[in-house]
Structure 1
């Protein structure tokens, strides 16, 4: 059964039905400055770590909102970890939370987060692709190495980016992310089906992976092309992370795969059309 310390379904509902504080709302609109070195590192390696994406003052409120949404989504699942599928043992995945919970929407639509991606991509405008909380239960297995863009019907994966925000400290033993540097090359493409058929591409077996432990409030940003995964959670505490995926304004719909045609963010689009739906608004 999914449990989050200090929360019941009733208290979670109260949190999600309340307005976020004015101070948090103001913070989420403040710009976070990046250095040229951070931007260059992202482009060269396909990922970058950024400190103080959420500062200590605002993290408790933001964290509680995400925890509440996860509890509402997953709290009625009474299965033990060992009863779940291999994929479900990798993480508790809760997507599109912003469309169900206005408090989460305030976080997901943050100009602070989208502004970081705008600077990293050096784009004129950034759109939302979707959000998802990724919690890993105590004892949760590894998340197999993969490219995010394998699951997205987008012709230009180099113009996609994921923010992975640590809501708690995430050391190596709790299941932090690891990245394969310089795999953000459009020529290095291989679909790894972490749902049904996880495997390691041959070319990755020769590459060194870089583990990226995070303090609460820190985040990594990685290209949809970058191969990455996560270790197992060897602790007795929940690993809590919130992710938001962004796309550069102007990317187009790829309908070449049958599974793409039913993707929530692209319903109603035809092959090659610019992705501009109610689920993919411009954030900044």
Structure 2
């Protein structure tokens, strides 16, 4: 479904370019618009993850990072990736007090996981591992492609609307409209539930993910994420909605955290002692 949604969205963008070209120059304009759209698609497909990471000012880390906390994060991600039979994504850190994380990338071979400093400082080791597993589940399911495309397109369109509407003082209104529209198109509560379920299987501890979600939710309500507030269309890629509580509505990009926690607790009840012991044997 994520790949289909991304494809339909790119066709929609294609139609807009071709339609604008046709309205201005007729058939020749439609051809030119189609060419521009194809170039746009190529750039977005190959560069969406880099654009999103740049927007969030994320910097790549590895096992040689001076911080023991970051080195532990890298180690956990690599071990979980091996356990899940996946190639470990590139890993990034964002400078933000709010604990949160997201995954982007066109496929499992070109995926990236970014977490905030706040997440590493707020969660304990097993909770951090559970969040990593949730993001790995997004990568394995193909969610990271559509999530990255939506965020990159939103960022580019927001910049264009800001330039166009700034002279008449409507730049903020137009930016919010674009962000909310794109976020609604790509938001999927079912996607988050599925990633929770699969992530819990990857780490073997549904209750660890439930505990992590509870802590993240509590902190996202009280701590602002300035970059997410400025780019609300990227909210749907985070593990928990990063926007301030006053900006959340019934159309939130995420299902209620309470419901996610309840599902994870029910999932934990179905696990046998043998399956739990098997997951622990990987570490």
- Give the structure-2-normalised TM-score: 0.29
Q: Which has the higher strand share?
A: 1
Q: Which has the higher contact order (CA 8 A, sep 6+)?
A: 1
Q: Which has the higher helix share?
A: 2
- Give the structure-1-normalised TM-score: 0.29
Select the structure of larger CA radius of gyration: 2
